[in-house]
Amino acid sequence: MSLAPDSRVRRALGSDHLAGWMFVAPAVVLIGIFGLVPIAWSAIMSFQANDLVSAPSWVGLANYQALAKDPAFIASVRHTLVYTALFVPLSVAGSLLVAWALNRKLRGVRFYRLAVFVPVITSTVATGIIFLWLLDPVFGLVNYLLSLVGLPEQGFLQDTNQALLCIVVMTVWGWLGFDVIIYLAALQGIPQELMEAAQIDGAGKWSSFRNVVLPFLRPATLFLVVWSTISALQLFDEIYVTTRGGPLGATTVIVYYLYQQAFQFFNAGYGAAIAYVLFMAILVITIIQLKVGGRGVYGKS
Amino acid sequence: MDNGLLIRPDRPLDLEAVPERRPRHWPFSPWHFFLIPLALMMLLPLIWSVITSLETSSEAQRFPPVLIPSALHFSNYLDAWNSLPFGHFFLNSFLYSAATVAGNLLFCSLAAYAFARLRFIGSNLLFVLLLVTLMVPFQVVLIPTFLIVRNLGLVDSVGGLIVPNLCGVFGIFLLRQFFQSLPVELEEAARIDGASRLGVFFKIVLPLSAPVLATLAIIQFMWSWNDFLWPLIIITTPQHAPLQLGLSMFQGTHVTNWNLLMAGTVMSQIPMLAVFLFAQRWFIQSIAYTGIKQ
Amino acid sequence: MRRVSIGTVGLLALVLAALVLAAGCGSSGGGATATPGASPTGVVNITMWHGDLDYAAKADNKLVAQWNKANPNIHVTALYNGSNDYALQKTLTAIAGGKPPDITYLFGSWMANIAKSPKVVMLNDLIAKDPSFDWNDFWPAERLAATVNGKVVGLPALVDNLAIVYNKKLFDKAGVSYPTAQWTWDDFRAAAKKLTIPAQKQFGWAYPADASEDTVWHWEAMLWDYNGDILTPDNKQAAFNAAPGVQALGMLGDMATVDHSVYIDTTNTKIQQTFNNGHIGMLVTGPWDLPAFPNVQFGVQFMPANHQTISGPDNWVILNNGADRVNASWAFLKWFTAAKQQMYYDLQTGALPTRQSQQKLQPDFQTYLTKYPGTDLFVKNMGNAVKARPTIPQYSKISTFLGQAIVSVLLGKSDAKTALDQAAQQTNAALAVPGQ
């Protein structure tokens, strides 16, 4: 991917130092002030003790050392990883199945596609509130439906063992449609000849799916896995709206812990350190995913 | 021409497109057995919230649950509207979304054009720096951005919501890729005719970019409309709260009733749902387009 | 083609950049600049944050409108700013964000925390200079809660206490006799059990289980009923994990996990309307909740055993946004907290009289007692509020530890002794930190 326009363009338009800088100036100023400066400032803040009101003081690596031993932080990391490990496969594999189902001539396929996509339109706050009501242990619809088939009442968001799982279900519900659209677009890019050639060769439905369709979907899958993972690691809104990190901290994830530290207890330096740890984690995980998944995408095997 | 894309920008995602199939043995596809429950699961939460929003408070807490309310209590919506400044919530959200869309469209396109077509000192370094900011999650910049906005005196105001979000790196990348795919001859011709670079940009390039600009507008609008964390940090009073924050404030009251809360929730989702139903094609194109472009 | 001024665009960009940078650099160093409240016309504008809704908010607004009409040079804006449970966090955030209100409503248990902020105005001088204010007219519990290390941090906004509020109809249906002043906690437990009908989703009791101070102070009343204490008299060690505490939390835990007679609300938003809809037999709550139960014929009774209860006086705190606004806030609050205005508020909301002299305001006081059946018991109950929560800055931490302990027992994750011992360990560690 070349960064400079090709030589023909260059010749045509001349050298544009002043013009170039004029064009990018507003973006540079805005992104500089609200992007680059905060990134650097946050790094500095992570080495300070800062309560957002009085002058900060230097503490060196103390914040990071405290994080490494902080049981609440370690728990939040664990919760985040568990959530991510459940959310990503469920939403990516689930959406592939749904997209596969929707990619055919069916009566009402338009309606199905709309139904799948509507949850994406609802905001995270609305989703949280609606699911709080659905999953209410005493008066919620879901426990009522369970009772109809003879299953006992569940604590759901009030049960320390089930709360995180409920968040997984809630967020998969909310984001499935997004993934489905991506996969639908990718599926529609598969040349018909490939599918027919596979079937003529006598391949069954499953093996033609595995050998023809899946490899073709690799870029879309990679994108969705990376995107879903990054989103999952940054989970916050639904936690705030439903459980506030409870019950008993069972749903406290990294970003929620950051919020508590920085804006409820006013340990901004500690919060900045948490943010940088999260950043590093996202970077590392994304790089690994791209390396593992990126093989054979742009170089045809 | 294989440029690594799975769809070309000029061929939109077709909601109606289906591959041809061999004739079936059954009168209907067995996929319906999967899709009907799926559609139900997708829609049930919303349907249930609407039903609850039309019940009285005691009906909402009846057991077994009341599936059909005794009467359609639309007054719940009025009560919800009056209990908190919902008018402000909608207005603030609208201002926030409109301003960030305008800002992004203007500033991102200018910058993207420069990266796509202009050659200037430091452009490579600048591009890499922007790439870096794209990789950093919002939580890293959250606290310092709060402090900067505070220093600007914009805490608890819609301005404080807007200003940090006037220009996003995502838009620059999206538009740059698109601009690069446009044939350069048109611009060359205009330059030869004596047009300034800005003129070429506004008169030639932008009109050709309507689809991708619409995409950016929709994505930015949706993002701003549903934003929650930043407003939570920066806004402290209900008068200045945008919609999602206002909804959570509504939820946080002790004397809240489920029927009122559902009415407030449904009310808050109506604009986005309406826009979506009206402009489905654009929504779905936008998402498909951006997803594949990575 | 027009020669479009690249220059114009560039110039605009540079100007924008300069403006933003100048604004950013100009007021660096954090904290609020005290903007003068007086506009050119000489009107001082002050804002007051509160957590009142519905009928209570209406009462506030009526009083504020009355003030604004009579005092055109001081304009008060009363703002609902969300649930009072988050008021401290919101106030501190607003102070950090540079735009704090002038008057804010804070729980009494937070006085030691807010007193640390340099933005808070200590009121001793203002009170001393104004004998007509009559500081001693307030109940002793209120004056105690508003004072930290001899400094008056806030003015009493609300006084209350906890008692049993029960649904007479549910008792009649279950054939259980109403709570009496001779009840023990075993009697309470037995009644709750009889009032619990799972098939109808009916519970005998309800408990707020979000691990906030609401969770804690309900339990502290129980602790005192069992003759326990929160801390040792020197405030240096935890005392709540001694035998009385373990019994009290054990009773609560058994009711929740063995009898299943407690409606547990970990969001702490559902209890009032669930009681009002007739699904709960008894609540332990205060007079502020009574107007929220129009559908219930309720009775009020003292807490079981030795009737000890907890009072949670809340305060109006004045923040320093400049001398003009401080003086305006004092003038307004002095009027707002006077007997006549408080009597109006109490008549609208059922809140208890903050000033003892209100009992002499006839016929209003008698009207008030008649309008809110049970309030007379709450007024008498003020005499049972003999112990108070320690007004030390570490209390909010202790509250967190206790909250976690109580909820873990309620959810069946721990037994009372283990949970309380752990909370005690954490408390002692927090109390050992010097210079707090």
Summarised one tens digit per residue, pLDDT across range B109-149 is 999 999 998 888 888 899 989 988 888 999 999 999 999 99
Give residue C8's pLDDT.
Answer: 40
- For Cα atoms C394, C398, C400, give the angle at the middle one, nearest 5 degrees: 120
Give residue A3's pLDDT.
Answer: 52
Average pLDDT for residues B219-229, to the nearest whole number?
Answer: 92
Helix (H), strand (E) at residue C143: helix C140-145
Low pLDDT (below 50) residues in chain C: 1-38, 436
Whether B217 and B101 have beta carbons less than 8 Å apart is answered as yes
Task: Please give the residue that has the higher pLDDT: either A213 or A195.
Answer: A213
- Contact between chains at B21 and A255 (C-beta distance less than 8 A): no
- Contact between chains at C31 and A53 (C-beta distance less than 8 A): yes
Partners of A146 on chain B (C-beta within 8 Å) are: none
A residues 18..77 contacting B (CB < 8 A): 18-21, 23-24, 26-28, 30-31, 33-39, 41-42, 45, 52
Predicted TM-score (pTM) of this structure: 0.84
Give the closest-approach CA distance of B161 to chain A in angstroms.
12
> Which stretches within C27-110 are classed as H helix?
54-70, 87-97
Partners of B245 on chain A (C-beta within 8 Å) are: 125
Give residue C106's pLDDT.
Answer: 95
Average pLDDT for residues A113-121, to the nearest whole number?
Answer: 91
CB neighbours of residue B177 within 10 Å? 18
Give residue A30's pLDDT.
Answer: 95
Structure tokens at B160: 């404080």
Give residue A94's pLDDT.
Answer: 95
Report whether pLDDT(A293) > 90. no
For A268-286, what is each residue's pLDDT tens digit?
Answer: 999 999 999 999 999 999 9
Closest CA to B178 of B268, B261, B292: B292
Whether A262 and A270 have beta carbons less than 8 Å apart is answered as yes
A residues 12..71 contacting C (CB < 8 A): 18-19, 21-23, 25-26, 29, 33, 51-53, 55
Give residue B8's pLDDT.
Answer: 41
A152 lies within 8 A of chain C by CB: no
Whether A63 and B143 have beta carbons less than 8 Å apart is answered as no
Residues ≥6 apart with Cβ < 8 Å to C216? C399, C402, C403, C406
For B41-61, what is each residue's pLDDT tens digit?
Answer: 999 999 999 999 999 888 888
Please tell me which residue of chain B has the smallest CA distance to C267. Answer: B252
Residue B63, phi then psi, degrees to nearest 5: -130, 125
Q: In this complex, which of C16, C30, C201 lies closest to A53 when CB atoms are compared? A: C30
% of chain A with per-residue pLDDT over 90: 63
Partners of A138 on chain C (C-beta within 8 Å) are: 201, 263, 274, 279
Report whether pLDDT(A8) > 80. no
Partners of B258 on chain C (C-beta within 8 Å) are: 273
A144 lies within 8 A of chain C by CB: no
> Which stretches within C239-357 are classed as H helix?
243-254, 271-276, 323-336, 339-349
A residues 148..187 contacting B (CB < 8 A): 173, 176-178, 181-182, 184-186
- HSE of A128, CA atoms in CB hemisphere, 13 A: 24
**What is the ipTM metric for this complex?**
0.84
Residue A113, phi then psi, degrees to nearest 5: -65, -40
Give residue C11's pLDDT.
Answer: 42
Give residue A265's pLDDT.
Answer: 85
Inter-chain CB pairs, B–C, below 8 Å: 101
Give residue B291's pLDDT.
Answer: 64
CA A32, distance to chain mean position in Å, is 25
A270 lies within 8 A of chain B by CB: no
Please tell me which residue of chain C has the smallest CA distance to B164. Answer: C20
Structure tokens at C419: 């949970």
Average pLDDT for residues A239-257, to the nearest whole number?
Answer: 93
- Contact between chains at A42 and B144 (C-beta distance less than 8 A): yes
Report whether pLDDT(B3) > 60. no
Whether A224 and A92 have beta carbons less than 8 Å apart is answered as yes
Which of A16, A17, A24, A29 best tests the C interface by mutation, with the highest count of C CBs <10 A? A29
- Contact between chains at B268 and A123 (C-beta distance less than 8 A): yes
CB neighbours of residue B52 within 10 Å? 27
Mean pLDDT of chain A: 87
Integer angstrom CA distances of residue C233 from C207, C236, C241, C402: 29, 8, 15, 18
Report, in this order, helix, strand and coil percent for chain B, each rounded to 5: 70, 0, 30
Q: Mean pLDDT lowest for which of B196-210, B247-261, C66-80?
A: B247-261
- Contact between chains at C86 and B252 (C-beta distance less than 8 A): yes
Partners of C292 on chain B (C-beta within 8 Å) are: 255
Establish whether the linkage from the previous residue to B64 is cis, with ω within 30° of 0.
yes
- Contact between chains at A246 and C266 (C-beta distance less than 8 A): yes
Whether C76 and C68 have beta carbons less than 8 Å apart is answered as yes
Give residue A297's pLDDT.
Answer: 46
Give residue C1's pLDDT.
Answer: 34
CB neighbours of residue C54 within 10 Å? 13
Average pLDDT for residues B196-208, to the nearest whole number?
Answer: 89
Partners of A133 on chain B (C-beta within 8 Å) are: 48-49, 52, 258, 261-262
Query: Tokens 């008030």 appear where?
Result: C368
Chains that touch B (3 or more CB pairs under 8 A): A, C
CB neighbours of residue A47 within 10 Å? 18
Which of C58, C277, C295, C321 best tests the B interface by mutation, with the highest count of B CBs <10 A? C277
Residue C156 per-residue DSSP state: E
Mean pLDDT of chain B: 85
Q: Mean pLDDT lowest for which of B57-66, B217-226, C115-124?
A: B57-66
A9 lies within 8 A of chain C by CB: no
Angle between helices A163-187 and A109-121 (to 10 degrees): 130
Partners of B203 on chain C (C-beta within 8 Å) are: 1
Which of A45, A48, A138 best tests the C interface by mutation, with the highest count of C CBs <10 A? A138
A139 lies within 8 A of chain C by CB: yes
Structure tokens at C195: 């009032």
Cα distance between residue B171 and residue C150, in whole Å: 58
Structure tokens at A201: 């060769």
- Contact between chains at B232 and A240 (C-beta distance less than 8 A): yes
Helix (H), strand (E) at residue C107: strand C103-107
A89 lies within 8 A of chain B by CB: no
For A41-88, what is each residue's pLDDT tens digit?
Answer: 999 999 999 888 778 899 999 999 999 999 999 999 999 999 999 999
